[in-house]
Structure 1
Amino acid sequence: MPGPSGKPNPSAAPGLRLDKWLWQARFFKSRSLAAEVIEAGAVRVNGTRISRPGRDVSAGDVLTFAQGARIRVVRILALGERRGPAAEAQAMYLDLDPPATPEALE
């Protein structure tokens, strides 16, 4: 991320657009769908509601968002290079959701 002088800041953590990360991690079928959810204010990054799809996220950030009928809570472990297979996408995050109880499945 460039500093005030326009030169890259070497101490800044690398980041990736939130909508792009959600798409690469296979939470949404398209970046535009991810962007719509973000613009609606339905995504939180580290507890703060976000409405800009271009907001940078980095490893260690915790995301909270609705996916269908579920509320997902995930910690970003890695930034992706591409939208790869599901196994590669699952390695990009740690699911912090509590496991479903048998009563909830009925």
Structure 2
Amino acid sequence: MSKQKHDHDDDDDKIRIDKWLWAARFYKTRSLAKQAIDGGKIHCDGQRVKPSKEAAIGLELTIRQDWDEKTVVITALSAQRRGAPEAMLLYTETEASKALREKRAAERKAGLGNFIVSDHRPNKKERRHIHRFQRINLLGTED
């Protein structure tokens, strides 16, 4: 008797969310997926999740990676990591999410927004300026 291969594993009824994120190619390893979940970068229906949460079809996930935030709906389950074209079949990104990501990417490209990228850590003088700027903007006083 040989076990038949399915397009998407039908026997994967219960899959941990960290394993699904790895299989869907959002993260290179399961430990990176777990770190992202523990760090609060993955939300399910607006709530933080645990790595052991069971992934289910129809679940809406918000995934924050670098500058981008994606809202995806799980359309299929798989415990195996496959090629990128097959991994993209495991989820669909919402239209609102796509539009927002494209808008933010265009803003970054144009240099708009609050995106400051530095090539070094701030020195003592620069830190003082940063703290003074934050104090002025948050408290409205300069001291």
Shorter-chain TM-score range: 0.7 to 0.9
* Residue 18 of structure 2 is aligned to residue 40 of structure 1: no
Partner residue of 1:95? 93
CA 38–84 in structure 1, closer or farther in 2 if over 3 Å, else same:
same
CA–CA distance in 2 between the matches of 1:16 and 1:38? 15
Pick the structure with more strand per residue.
1
CA–CA distance in 2 between the matches of 1:47 and 1:15? 22
Partner residue of 1:62? 60
AA aligned opposite 2:67: A
**Which 4+ stretches in 1 moved above 4 angstroms?**
none
Instruction: Normalising by structure 1, report the TM-score.
Output: 0.78
Q: Matches of residues 1-106 of structure 1 in structure 2 within 5 Å?
A: 14-50=13-49, 52-96=50-94, 97-99=97-99, 100-101=102-103, 103-104=106-107, 105-106=109-110
- The answer to which of 40-49 and 15-24 deviates more is 40-49
CA–CA distance in 2 between the matches of 1:103 and 1:93? 24
Computed over aligned residues only, the root mean square deviation of the Cα atoms, in angstroms, reads 1.6
CA deviations on 1:79-102 (whole Å, 9 max, x unpaired) are: 014100000000000011233148
Instruction: Normalising by structure 2, report the TM-score.
Output: 0.59
CA 15–47 in structure 1, closer or farther in 2 if over 3 Å, else same:
farther
Task: Return 5+ residue gaps in structure 2 as ranges.
Answer: 1-12, 111-143
Task: Return 5+ residue gaps in structure 1 as ranges.
Answer: 1-13
CA 41–103 in structure 1, closer or farther in 2 if over 3 Å, else same:
closer
Shift of 1:40: 1.5
